[in-house]
Amino acid sequence: METATQKSSGLYVIGLTLVATLGGLLFGYDTAVISGAEKSIQAYLVDSLGLSSLVHGATTSSALIGCIIGGILSGLLASRFGRKRTLMFAAGLFFLSALGSGFPEFLFFKQGEPTMGLLIMFNIYRIIGGIGVGLASAVCPMYIGEIAPANIRGRLVSFNQFAIIFGMLVVYFVNWGIANGQSIEWINTIGWRRMFTSEAIPAGIFGILLFLVPESPRYLALKHQDDKALNILTKINGADIAKKVLQDIKNTVEKSSAKIFAYGKVVIIIGILLSVFQQFVGINVALYYAPRIFESMGAAKDASMMQTVVMGLINVIFTVLAIMTVDKWGRKPLLMVGSIGMAIGMFAIGTLAFLKIIGISTLVFIIIYTASFMMSWGPICWVLISEIFPNKIRGRAVAVAVAAQWAANYFISSTYPAMMEFSSGFTYCFYGAMSLLSFLFVWKMVPETKGKTLEEIESLWTKKL
């Protein structure tokens, strides 16, 4: 009987995690869909209006403005309305953005006539989707971290990163399938619309499934709904452990202050720097501009789309490696190994760029770089952000860290074209230097959290006060 109970509890937690990670899948889908459509957007809305490449860069990155807004709002919404309802709101934003980005003419403009107003409307819909991404990027790992038992929390939160990468892989296939065999004219007028509207399907499924999951037990305890919290914790951990976990949660709530620096500035600084380094190593340059990078290496458009799919498969494989090892090897070792691998990849690409060598060797080092990121900083950053902050300040502290992450993402993505015009070798070596700095940061400042409950992690900071 005990084995059956444990099995059902495990299935229950996995079920909740799978629903929550659909938000991660949409995060990946929404941020990567632009990779297949950005050249068509440039042709249809930017070049046809005689606008500069600066406008194109801003349009390509406009969703990131929404991500920053969503990251900032995530703490307020998650703390006031709960994790579940915040994710439902994000699902609605994803759905609206998918349809609006594909058909920005809706209600206001005549279809087939590019205008400045249409370009602005397209960017507004992309920003709306970005707000959804910002909310999901903060609240999905937060929700999973708060429902997961300590011994498998790293694995379950890492699964959210798998969903992000899987979402990117799915949209790479979707974009390739839409563009494959079609003329450039068709892709530039119709194909890009289908790329964006395809997101409405997973967004709708996510919104419906969220009705079936409960609120986070730690949020319920914060709102003094102890009976509901205990009921959910019992399903997850069993009756005896659930009572102890609830008591630990209640103790942290009672003695905590509502101020964000109640546990000192160090924990907040660590959360922000984890986020900033995850972006300053340059990963989203490789993701957002992947087809263009491969085209610059001499691949045709269809081939560059296919190489992007291959890179997506590599990403999935190494994210699975992180999921399998994060609760065995720990967070710090994976982060430090990943930092070294990324530094090797980026310095090698930079050196090849200085030597004007473009070919299969460049692709090999791009794969080494992205594989190193996906087995380390990709998932583990989200694991740490979901678990290092104390219960009482988690909503707002995660919001600060996530907003910093999207601000860093926007800075890196929007400056990439200009940096490449200045010197491609310098650009990639800069990302390599950031990878080395990330190694030193983890070594000196980041605590190991493997196997600890959220309340035990909280005690790391209370001891330092």
Report residue 104: phi and psi, to 5°. Answer: -65, -10
The residue with tokens 């950005």 is 38
User: Distance between alpha carbon 400 and the CA centroid of its chain, in Å?
Assistant: 15
Question: 255 or 166, which is more confident?
Answer: 166
pLDDT at 93 over 80: yes
Looking at residue 373, what is its pLDDT?
92
What's phi and psi for 111, nearest 5 deg?
A: -65, 140
Q: Examine the pLDDT at 4 and tell me if it is beyond 50.
A: no
Task: Check pLDDT > 80 for residue 255.
Answer: no
Residue 311 corresponds to which tokens in the numbers above?
């890179």
What mean pLDDT is predicted for residues 45-65?
77
Q: Residue by residue, what is the 3-state secondary structure of the chain? A: CHHHHHHHHHHHHHHHHHHHHHHHHHHHHHHHHHHHHHHHHHHHHHHHHCCCHHHHHHHHCHHHHHHHHHHHHHHHHHHHHCHHHHHHHHHHHHHHHHHHHHCCCCCCCCCCCCCHHHHHHHHHHHHHHHHHHHHHHHHHHHHHHHHCCHHHHHHHHHHHHHHHHHHHHHHHHHHHHHHCCCCHHHHHHHHHHHHHHCCHHHHHHHHHHHHHCCCCHHHHHHCCCHHHHHHHHHHHHCHHHHHHHHHHHHHHHHHCCCCCCCCCCHHHHHHHHHHHHHHHCCHHHHHHCHHHHHHHCCCCHHHHHHHHHHHHHHHHHHHHHHHHHHHHHCHHHHHHHHHHHHHHHHHHHHHHHHCCCCCHHHHHHHHHHHHHHHCCHHHHHHHHHHHCCCHHHHHHHHHHHHHHHHHHHHHHHHHHHHHHHHCHHHHHHHHHHHHHHHHHHHHHHCCCCCCCCHHHHHHHHHCCC
Instruction: Tell me which of 3.40.630.10, 1.20.1250.20, 3.40.50.880, 3.60.150.10 is the CATH number of domain 2-213+256-462.
Output: 1.20.1250.20
Report, in angstroms and rounded to the nearest whole number, the Rg of the chain calculated over CA atoms: 22
- pLDDT of 355-376, one tens digit each? 877 667 777 888 899 889 988 9
| Token pair recorded at residue 168 | 């990117």
Say whether pLDDT at 382 is over 50.
Answer: yes
Least confident of 47-51, 109-113, 222-226: 109-113
Which carries the bigger pLDDT value, residue 464 or residue 249? Answer: 249
Question: Nearest-CA neighbor of 134 among 70, 58, 41, 211?
Answer: 70
343: closest CA among 297, 282, 296? 282
Q: How confident is the model over 413-426, as a mean pLDDT? A: 80
- The model's pLDDT over 192-209, given as tens digits with 9 standing for 90+, comes to 899 999 999 999 999 999
- Highest averaged pLDDT of the listed ranges 39-53, 260-274, 316-330: 260-274
Per the CB < 8 A criterion, the answer to whether 163 and 22 are in contact is: yes
What pLDDT score was predicted for residue 197?
A: 94
* Residue 124 confidence (pLDDT): 93
Greater confidence, 465 or 306?
306
As a whole-number percent, the residues of the chain with pLDDT over 70 amount to 89
Provide the pLDDT confidence category of residue 306 given band limits of 50, 70 and 90. Answer: low
For the CA atoms of 366, 403, 30, 109, the dihedral, rounded to the nearest 10 degrees, stands at: -130
Note whether 428 and 296 are within 8 A (CB). Answer: no
| CA–CA dist 247, 309 (Å, integer) | 48
pLDDT(21) > 90: yes
Q: Which candidate, 346, 248, 331, 9, places its Cα nearest to that of 148? A: 9
Q: How far, in Å, CA of 2 to CA of 128, rounded? A: 47
Q: What is the mean pLDDT of the chain?
A: 83
Q: What is the band of 6 on the pLDDT scale with cuts at 50, 70, 90?
A: very low
User: Could you give the CA distance from residue 387 to residue 180 in angstroms, rounded to a whole number?
Assistant: 43
What confidence tier does 5 reach under pLDDT thresholds 50, 70, 90?
very low
Say which residue the tokens 């070049």 belong to: 47
Angle (deg, nearest 10), helices 266-280 and 394-422: 30
Backbone angles phi, psi at 358, to 5 degrees: -125, 125
2 pLDDT higher than 50? no
Helix axes 62-81, 53-60, angle to 10 degrees: 30
Query: Which of these ranges, 72-86, 97-111, 141-155, 303-317, has the smallest mean pLDDT?
Result: 303-317
For 122-160, what is each residue's pLDDT tens digit? 999 999 999 999 999 889 988 998 888 877 888 888 888
Q: How confident is the model at residue 257 (pLDDT cuts 50, 70, 90)?
A: very low
Q: Which two tokens stand for residue 426?
A: 């310098």
pLDDT, position 303: 56
Q: Which among 146, 148, 70, 154 has a CA at the least distance from the CA of 379?
A: 154
Evaluate if residue 340 carries a pLDDT over 90: yes
pLDDT given for residue 25 in this prediction: 93
Confidence at 57, pLDDT banded by 50, 70, 90 = confident
